[in-house]
Amino acid sequence: GGVRAVVPTPGGGWATGASDGAVCQWRADGSIAHRIAAHHADVTALVVTPDGRTLYSAGRDRAVRAWDVSRQV
């Protein structure tokens, strides 16, 4: 699906949320680290906590999910 949200992550990477409900974590070199089937509808927002440990995703399915990204790369 198309990208709906992007947020930088610690270490120079980023996370994306897509119209198919997936959340992807990308490494700084552009390779994908993880793909999570996070939501049943579009991902509408992403935010990383100031300490860089947790990524929150929100979707059109009215769910908000938390992901520990400190161990994911």
Q: Please work out, in degrees rounded to the nearest 5, the angle formed at the alpha carbon of residue 17 by the alpha carbons of 14 and 20.
A: 145
User: What is the pTM for the complete model shown?
Assistant: 0.86
- Burial of 24: CB neighbours in 10 Å, binned 0-12, 13-18, 19+: middle
Q: Which two tokens stand for residue 71?
A: 């161990």
**Averaged pLDDT, groups of 10, the chain, 73 residues long:** 89 92 93 91 94 93 90 54
